[in-house]
Structure formats: structure tokens, C-alpha cells
Chains A and B, each alone.
Chain A
Amino acid sequence: MKSKINIADLLARAVVIVLGIFLLFPIYWMIVTSFKNNLDIYRFPPQFLPRNFTLENYGGIFKDNSVVLYLNNNFLVSIGTTLITLLAASLAGYSLSRYSTRFGRFVNTALLSTQMFPIVGLILALYMIFRNLGLINTRLSLMLSLSAITIPFSVILIKGFFDDISRSLEEAARIDGCSRLRTFISIILPLAKPGLLAIGLYTFMQAWDDFLFAITFILTDEKRTLSAGIAMKFLGEVSYDWGRVTTVSVCGVLPMFILIFLFQRYMVAGLTAGAVKG
């Protein structure tokens, strides 16, 4: 009986180690490749430890201004999207939590249903809308379309956080003569900080990941964001410069990794809260 458990345990351990290698090796490989010179990158069998450690790929991409530009645009768009989403979602989430009407419930269902629509399917109509608004080739078009995607989940998530805050606070504030808006801003909102952090992180990550909108709405290089920039600049030529590609990738991944290391708890809380409520 005892040895049977041990074998199962060992097997489970082995499976988890294999899965762990599967998850982590590609990241290791990206980092290692970015520090190799072009000769070593194309060696077969590959070198698992870089023998001639070099920074020439990093020097190369920073000499060329465009990567800094892409990163900068990605930050602008992601921060803009996050601010729009935070504002819109916290207002709507609060309304659905406290001032629930039949219309509010309808809005709630409508928001839930958006998760189903394929964005690629909407993009051509969206393109026409932005063209009519004169917003093609602006960062604002990216912020608005990304916000439209992140707002629904964010509203539902932040509503859950507001639901957990006691209503007696509002009653007390009302007796003290505090207006509805002031009550919300100076009493309720500060209490929902973990929720705001969760939706902010969720939105930032979604916006950082955007590729589709950027390749469709952005036409000039100086407004291009990271994913679209990498795909257009480093791919599609005759042969790929893998040293550069992995180096840019490291730069694109780094901000996300830092966020994960710092805020993992809030990200996970946001994800799981959303999932359990479905």
C-alpha cells in the first residue's frame, strides 16, 4: 500500500517536472538566444549555454530608434486604455451594485454577452467606424477599441468588490449630507482599491498584448505599438534575424514579468473571482 502511493507520487512529480520544463525552457531559450552572436545562434547542435556571451543584439536594437518608439507607444496605449477602463468600469460597476434597475440588469447581461463575439469578426466594421470618426492611425483608436474589450469583464469584476462593501456606509454618508457622487468618490472607491488594482492589471495586460488592432488601425511606423512593430519590422523579410527578434522579445516581456512578480496576488484574485462567478 505504502509503496504504491510512492510510485504514484513519483510519477506525479515526474509529470510536473516535465511540464515545468515545458513552461520555462522557452523563456530561458529566448533569453539565451538574445545574448548569442549570430554565428552561435545558427549552430546545430545548439549551445544550451552561451559560450561567447555578447550584448551586440541589445546594442543593435537600441541604436535603431524604432524599438524604443514601439515600447513607448505600447506604454502610452496601455496606460490610456487602463485609465479609460478604470473610469468607465468603476462607475458602471458601482451603479450595477447599488442602483440596480431593470435597465441595469439588461446592461449587465449585454456586457456578459460581449465575451462571445469574435473580435476579428468585428474588425472590419470597426475599421469603418474609426474611418468615419477620422481616428484611423491614432493611438486613441487603439485605446477606445481595447477599452471596449476590457470594460465588460472589468465591470463584472469590480461589481463583485463593491457588493462586498457594506451599504450602511452610504446610509451614514447620506445622513451626514454627503452627495451621491462624493460618497462614491471619497468613501466607497478607496475601499475598493484591491478591485481597482485587479482590473487595472487585467486591462494593462490585455492592452499590452494587442496585435490585431495595431496592425489594422495604425498605418505609420511612428505610432506603431510593440507587437505590430516587431511583426512588421523583423519578420517578412527574406530571413529572420533571430538574435534581434529574441532581443526585442525580451524587452517586450520584461514589463509583464515585473508586473507578475510584484502583483501576482491581485492578478490571480481578479482572475479567479471572475471565473467563480462565471
Chain B
Amino acid sequence: MTLKSKAGDKVFGTILLLPSILIVGGFIFLPVVQSVFYSFFNFKLTRKKMPLVWNNFDNYRSLIESGKLQNAFAITFQFMILVVLVVFLMGLIMSLFMNRGSSGERLTRTLTLLPWGTPTVIVALLWSWMFQAEYGVVNFILMKLHFISEPMGFLVNPDTALASVGVAAIWRQLPFMFIMLLAGLQGIPSEMYEAAHIDGASWLQSFRHITLPFLRNVIRSSILVTIITNFKQFPLFWTMTGGGPMDRTETLAILTYKNAFVNLNFGVGAAVAASWMVVLIAFSLLYNRIFKEAEY
């Protein structure tokens, strides 16, 4: 019982913040600054300490001239858009249906959460096993349904590899989207629908004018979370395809990691990371602005 005053409150409040500031500052903000800094230097990982040499944007130039950076951006965006769209639509359908209060809701909800609890690397292994080229169960099912006539290598075929990793991502992320949207739906007072029904509104009209506006916040944040998750996705690609075949799944995450820890060229890896961060930050700002404008 020393300081009683406002000043004491201030000191106490600041001390409480310190552990979080130290950890997050030291292991997120400091590396962010350092990554941007390294990206302008010739910087390779070696046993001995090497002096940093400014290389006049060479890291960026080589990435762009080889087309690697553009390729990685294109693939990352393709993957993200595909997964986010499918996850959102599937999640919406599921939550709209489950919101009608079907029987055994609790158990169904628990069961559908299981993919979300599955560690990402295990998701990757599981789907690699199911997509296996000769005796994988997906091959069998698609052949039974006459979609394909003979087994194919989903993860080694350049045309299907990205979509196949996408399926694994969708599988893990769908439960999260479903739970979020369901929680949002359950927050809508049922009188709203009753009133709309009495006024003769169709299902589509009440969906458009009641459900969607009420869900707006939930939709905004759960889609943003899904976008960021897929933008950053690393373990699925690293385990399922490693960036192949023919760079067709070489996302920004894979390109960064390969440069830094396979080629041991930190400078180039940092350049990928820095360009990526700029785009992601710009994207989130734009995203929030779009949603804010939609408010009015």
C-alpha cells in the first residue's frame, strides 16, 4: 500500500503490461523489423558470422527477374480465394441448416469440430494418404462414381496439386467457419423472422434483410481469419507437396522458407517475407475499409 494516487494506477497498469510487451515485442515486432532490414543485404547463414553487405535491391531484383515472386503471389492468391470461398459457402449452408434445431445438435456439433482439433501436419498426412496415387481411397471413390477411369496422382499432377492441398485446408477450416456462423445465427432474435413472415416476406427476403445484416460482423471477422490463415499456410504445403510439382504449389510461405533454410540465403528469404507483409497489411486495411463502407 504505497501509491494510492492516479500515478500509482499508471505505474501498476504499465507493470502489468510488461511481460506481454517483452514477449510479443521481442519475438514478433523485433523480427519484423529485422526481416525488412535483412532483405536489403547479402546475408547467408554460415557457421562464421559474415558481414552484412548492402546489395542494392539485388534480393528483390533476382526474385522478380526469375519470376519466382510473381508465381508465388499468384499461387497464394489462387489458393486463398478458392479455400475462402468454398469454406464460407459450405459453412453458411451447414449453419443455416443446423440452426433449425435439428435433433442431436450437440453431438453433431462436437463431431464436426473434430477436424478443427486435428493438428495441421496430421491433416496433411491424412489427406496425402487418402490422395495416394495408386491405392488411395479418394481414387477408389472417384472411380466408383465414374469421375475418373483410372487412379491418378492428385498431389504429383501439376493440374490438381493445388486444389488437392485446398481440399485438406477446407476440411480443417470448415468447422471453424460453421461454428462462427452458427453462433451468429443463434444471436438473431426469432421475433424478427416471425414479423417478417407475417408481413409476407419470402425466405430469400428475410435472408437478405435480416440474416445477412445481423451476421455482418461475424462474417467479416471469420472471413478475415480464414484469409490470413490461408495466406500464411505452411505445414500443409511443406508436408503434402513441398512446393512441387513444377513450382505449382510454391506459395509465398514455401518460397520464403526454401530460400532461408534450404538455400540458406536469408537475404532473399527476407525479401520475400517483406514484400509479403506489405501486401498482407495493405490487404487487411483495404478489407476493413470495404466492410466499413458497406455499413452506411
Binding site for B on A (CB under 8 A): 12-13, 15-16, 19-20, 22-24, 26-27, 29-30, 33, 42-46, 84, 87-89, 91-92, 94-96, 98-101, 103-104, 107, 110-111, 114-126, 128-129, 144-145, 147-149, 151-152, 155, 177, 179-181, 205, 208-209, 211-212, 216, 226-228, 230-231, 235, 240, 242, 245-246, 249, 252-253, 256-257, 259-261, 264, 267-268, 271-272, 274-276, 278
Contact with A along B14-29 (1 / 0, CB 8 A): 1011011101101111
The residue on A at minimum CB distance from B272 is: A121
Which residues does chain B contribute within 8 Å of A268, judged by CB atoms?
179, 183
The segment from B63-71, B92-100, B155-163 found at the interface with A is B92-100
Which residues does chain A contribute within 8 Å of B234, judged by CB atoms?
119-120, 211-212
The residue on A at minimum CB distance from B235 is: A211
Contact B273 A148 (CB under 8 A): no
Binding site for A on B (CB under 8 A): 1, 8-10, 12-14, 16-17, 19-21, 23-24, 26-32, 34-35, 38, 90, 93-94, 96-98, 108-122, 125-130, 132, 134-135, 137, 139-140, 151, 171, 174-176, 179-180, 183-184, 217-218, 220-222, 224-225, 228, 231-232, 234-235, 238-239, 252-253, 256-257, 260-261, 266, 269-270, 272-274, 276-277, 280-281, 284
| Given known A-B contacts A179-B1, A257-B117, A227 and B23 have beta carbons under 8 A apart | no
Contact A29 B94 (CB under 8 A): no
Which residues does chain B contribute within 8 Å of A16, judged by CB atoms?
93-94, 97-98
What's the Cα separation between A274 and B31 when bound, in Å? 26
Which residues does chain A contribute within 8 Å of B9, judged by CB atoms?
99, 180
What's the Cα separation between A135 and B266 when bound, in Å? 19
Contact A95 B125 (CB under 8 A): no
Contact B220 A261 (CB under 8 A): no
Question: Of A42, A119, A235, A253, which is within 8 A of B232 by CB?
Answer: A119
Which residues does chain B contribute within 8 Å of A145, judged by CB atoms?
27
Q: Could you name 5 residue pairs across A and B whose Cβ atoms are closer than 8 Å?
A: A16-B97, A119-B232, A208-B119, A268-B179, A278-B221
Question: Of A24, A89, A240, A252, which is within 8 A of B20 by CB?
Answer: A89
Instruction: List 8 A-B pairs, minimum CB-CB distance, nearest first.
Output: A99-B13, A121-B273, A125-B31, A148-B27, A95-B16, A256-B117, A227-B121, A125-B34
What's the Cα separation between A264 and B221 when bound, in Å? 21
Known: A23-B175, A272-B183. 20 other contacts (CB 8 A): A20-B111, A24-B111, A24-B114, A92-B21, A116-B281, A118-B276, A120-B252, A120-B253, A121-B270, A124-B261, A145-B27, A147-B27, A151-B23, A211-B239, A245-B125, A246-B126, A252-B122, A271-B176, A276-B183, A276-B184
CB distance from B95 to the nearest CB of A (A): 10
What's the Cα separation between A179 and B98 when bound, in Å? 49
| Given known A-B contacts A19-B90, A177-B1, A148 and B23 have beta carbons under 8 A apart | yes
CB distance from B114 to the nearest CB of A (A): 6
The residue on B at minimum CB distance from A48 is: B137
CB distance from A259 to the nearest CB of B (A): 7
Contact B130 A26 (CB under 8 A): yes
| Given known A-B contacts A16-B93, A268-B183, A124 and B140 have beta carbons under 8 A apart | no
CB distance from B190 to the nearest CB of A (A): 18
CB distance from B77 to the nearest CB of A (A): 14
Contact B93 A253 (CB under 8 A): no
Contact B16 A120 (CB under 8 A): no
